[in-house]
């Protein structure tokens, strides 16, 4: 029962769920999607540099405009930050559990705020090739245009106090 609401897996716990490496992240996508609070359930599964695996899910709020919704990738990043993970290395996102796609424009922008954004590998699994999982590194030229590079030193970790 408690497993149903698990958002964080240590490397060992993830391995016991069959996620022994980043290519197996989709094995936890249904766990992530089941956490969603929205009609269309989107799940995000991310692997951190520690080997820990984190889940994110979309959250919609009745009566609010979609721009106030929390996307699964954003939830995932907040989850990593709350757990003091310094680096997201791999990400898998799906709204149906079988097709894995790039984050939307808004989440791509959000992910760009992280120092190592260009090193995060997005797992892509297309409907036309259901058995193939491609690791797609974020190429610098694939970044959205007009995004400023923020001052270096920004990480997922909470700040260590005022400077």
Distance of closest approach, residue 76 Cβ to Zn ion, in angstroms: 10
In this structure, the number of other CB atoms found within 10 A of the CB of residue 45 comes to 31
In whole angstroms, the minimum distance from the beta carbon of 84 to Zn ion comes to 24
C-alpha triplet 121, 76, 107: angle, nearest 5°: 65
| Closest CB to Zn ion among residues 67, 131 | 67
Query: CA 73, CA 91: separation in Å to the nearest integer?
Result: 8
Among residues 8 and 104, whose Cβ is nearest to Zn ion? 104
Closer to Zn ion at the Cβ: 27 or 106? 106
User: Which residues make up the interface to Zn ion (CB under 5 A)?
Assistant: 71, 104, 106-107
73 is catalytic: yes
What minimum distance in Å lies between the beta carbon of 152 and Zn ion?
25
- Please list the helix, strand and coil fractions of the chain in percent, rounded to the nearest 5, in that order: 30, 20, 50
DSSP string, 81-130: HHTT---EEEEEEESSSS-B-PPPHHHHHHHHTSTTGGGPEEEEB-SSST
Structural tokens at position 48: 């951190």
Q: Which is nearer to Zn ion, 71 or 90 (CB)?
A: 71
Instruction: Give the rounded distance of the alpha carbon of 132 from its chain centre.
Output: 20
Minimum CB–partner distance for residue 93 and Zn ion (Å): 8
Q: Which of 12, 30, 62, 73 is catalytic?
A: 73
What are the catalytic residues?
73
């Amino acid at each position: 029962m408690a497993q149903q609401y698990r958002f964080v897996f240590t490397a060992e716990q993830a391995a016991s769920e069959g996620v022994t490496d980043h290519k197996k992240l989709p094995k936890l996508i249904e766990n992530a999607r089941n956490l969603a609070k929205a009609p269309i359930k989107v799940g995000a599964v991310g692997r951190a540099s520690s080997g820990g695996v984190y889940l994110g899910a979309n959250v919609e709020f009745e009566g609010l405009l979609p721009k106030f919704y929390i996307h699964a990738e954003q939830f995932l990043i907040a989850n990593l930050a709350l757990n003091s993970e310094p680096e997201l290395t791999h990400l898998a996102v799906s709204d149906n559990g079988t097709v894995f796609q790039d984050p939307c424009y808004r989440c791509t922008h959000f992910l760009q705020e992280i120092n190592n954004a260009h090193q995060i590998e997005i797992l892509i699994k297309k409907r036309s090739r259901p058995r193939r999982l491609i690791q797609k590194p974020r190429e610098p030229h694939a970044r959205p245009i007009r995004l400023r590079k923020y001052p270096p030193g920004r990480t997922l970790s909470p700040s260590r106090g005022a400077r």
